[in-house]
A and B are shown apart, each in its own frame.
Chain A
Amino acid sequence: MSQSTVTVTDVHREYQQGEFTVKALQGVSLSIEPGEFTVLMGSSGSGKTTLLNIIGGLDSPSTGSVEIDGQELSSMAANDLSDLRLHKFGFVFQAYNLIPVLSAFENTEFVPLMQGVGVEERKTRSMEMLKAVGLEGMENRLPSELSGGQQQRVAVARALAGNPMLILADEPTANLDSTTGKELIKLMRHLNEDKGVTFIFATHDPKVMDAAKRVIHLEDGRIVEDERR
């Protein structure tokens, strides 16, 4: 049996907001297998983004454990976590979050550059990814010169350029029009099938849910349904 890409065990996450304690996650456990295309569904405040952030090592659980490819995150130092994110994860955020001073190509190249990939391979890989997301010929444009959909495609290309084992996408279609959103989902599904990259989405977009192989429903910080398709 192959090792799970992600194993979440009894994770709780509490925030202090003034005098109140907000329980964002309450005993979440799940495991994600390699090559899965999983959607975390739920209404706003259900804990899906918190769970995604904890899986991505961007946030820490109050209690419980998260293992990525067999490595326990809570025992890792900040720099090791950075390395883990750099080498194993790709992130796609709701608000594109590209580096505004870098061109589409440079944004895509940034992750392999930090990984220490050589110039030629970096260039080949980045161009390949931009081509895969349909941005051939727009490599030199700055994010401000691209539409929202195009920026999100660059974000996907950037997430893929580092050859990650897992892509975490938080509401990737939220700021896109319906057609662009559909195209992006199609693209990511294609990359999942073609390259075998594992995807986890946090979304309440039904279009994403329709494309998913597995849908995990969250409510008030708890998993209420885990549906495989």
Chain B
Amino acid sequence: MLLQMAFRNLRRNLRRTIITSAAVAVGMIVLVMSNTLRAGQYDDMISSSVSQLAGHVVVQHPEYQQEQETELVVEDVDGLVAALKQEIPNTVITTRTRLGGILASSSSPTVIGLTAVDPLSEGKVSDMADKIVMGTWVQNDSKSIVIGQNMADLLQADLGDRLVFTTSVDGEMNSHLYRLTGVFRTGAEEVDAFVGYVSIASVDTVLGRPNTANQVAVHLGNASQTNAILERVERVVESQGRKDVAVQPWPEILPDVIAMIKVDQVSNEMISISLMFIVAMGILNTMLMNVLERSKEFGVLMAIGLKKGALVRMILLEAALVGIIGGLSGAVLGMMASYPIVVNGLDLTKMMGEGMVINGAVASTILYGRYDFLWIGGYILLSVLCAVLSALYPAWKIQQLTPVDAMRS
């Protein structure tokens, strides 16, 4: 009966109910749209960082994470990769070595951050292979090099040109001759002017450490399997008796990405709470008016024997219904409003260029949204909670009155 009365009371003053619910709904629309965009952005940040800078599970020298020194390598990479492929066949395994040096053309030199990769597996996980604008992705030979467009322009290098890479190994300068086989463009200048890719086989000779890599990374189709795969990789490493490697999940490899997302989430949550607080103030005002206008009615209910607790429940129930109506309709409208962003993405290329570097990885400037139903459900609960909390004061105020006082007012 209380629920029925609460419904009917809301229907009785339909315009007020609609306005109050609309306030909640508007808050919800903003929250859902913002969350959908952020969820997509976080996904993109994680997937681009994981694919370009790590893998879901990474095997590396225990000190490499801290020191990032080229000399800190995993030995017998071929043996490890073969064993991993056997243990977890439906995954992509990449091997990477990173080294800095000078790349020189016949006309000029420039500083380069070179990533030596297994071209085939790298092409499957990193979208760099899709950003080739001239030539091809790295060939599986000791000569092929792919560089960013800005660097190619700086070096005035064309496809097929000779480029000499020089780096310091154990205090001695080593050089290797490459031929430019491809040019990529990410749209992020710091990447296009600084980064290059070669075959990992080609740096074996430069570094004098064949069959080694800084990282052996396992890439999964579904990040949620990370922990399960981590255990299997650990078993493989253990079975090979390797003591000089660490097996780490991607959050340990990319702590900055996690920190960045957490900071963003906290600021987003604060904005959400502030927004819902403003909405709650609006509801408080309406609920207070609504309750005080009906105090005579509440007095009668108390007089005929309705306990004060039941009266408070009825008032809170009305507020909760406003929260549910506003929250649900706002969630649906917010999802509808976000739908174009989920399907087509939000194109920021004119504002931000074709790519943006987030923590060293190139992310797209076309931002795709993703419905995060857990958060959306949480927001609906938050809106109900705000509505109920905002009705506490009016409910308390009525509860303070005696039936006679309430009927007189």
Contacts and interface: CB of A to CB of B under 8 A. Distances in A.
B304 A59 contact: no
B8 A79 contact: no
Contacts of A82: 302, 305-308
A100 B9 CA distance: 9
A7 B28 CA distance: 58
A85 B303 contact: yes
A111 B305 contact: yes
B15 interface: no
A87 interface: yes
A53 B304 contact: no
A97 interface: yes
Contacts of A101: 5, 8-9, 11-12
A73 B404 CA distance: 16
Contacts of B27: none
A58 to B, nearest CB: 4
Interface size class of A (residues with CB under 8 A): 20 to 34
A165 B346 CA distance: 72
Contact of A85 (B296, B304, B308): B304
A152 to B, nearest CB: 14
A151 to B, nearest CB: 12
Contacts of B297: 97, 99-100
Nearest to B405: A59
Contacts of A89: 305
B5 A86 contact: no
A86 B11 CA distance: 27
29 contacts: A58-B407, A59-B402, A59-B404, A78-B307, A78-B308, A79-B308, A79-B309, A82-B302, A82-B307, A82-B308, A83-B307, A85-B304, A86-B305, A87-B305, A89-B305, A91-B300, A91-B303, A93-B407, A99-B5, A100-B12, A101-B5, A101-B11, A101-B12, A102-B5, A106-B1, A111-B304, A113-B1, A114-B304, A114-B306
* 10 interchain residue pairs of minimum CB distance: A86-B305, A101-B8, A97-B300, A85-B305, A58-B403, A82-B307, A59-B404, A58-B404, A53-B404, A82-B305
Given A91-B303, A114-B304, 19 more contacts: A58-B402, A58-B404, A59-B404, A78-B308, A79-B308, A82-B302, A82-B305, A82-B306, A82-B308, A83-B305, A86-B304, A86-B305, A89-B305, A93-B300, A97-B296, A101-B5, A101-B9, A102-B5, A162-B305
Interface of B: 1, 5, 8-9, 11-12, 296-297, 300-310, 402-404, 407
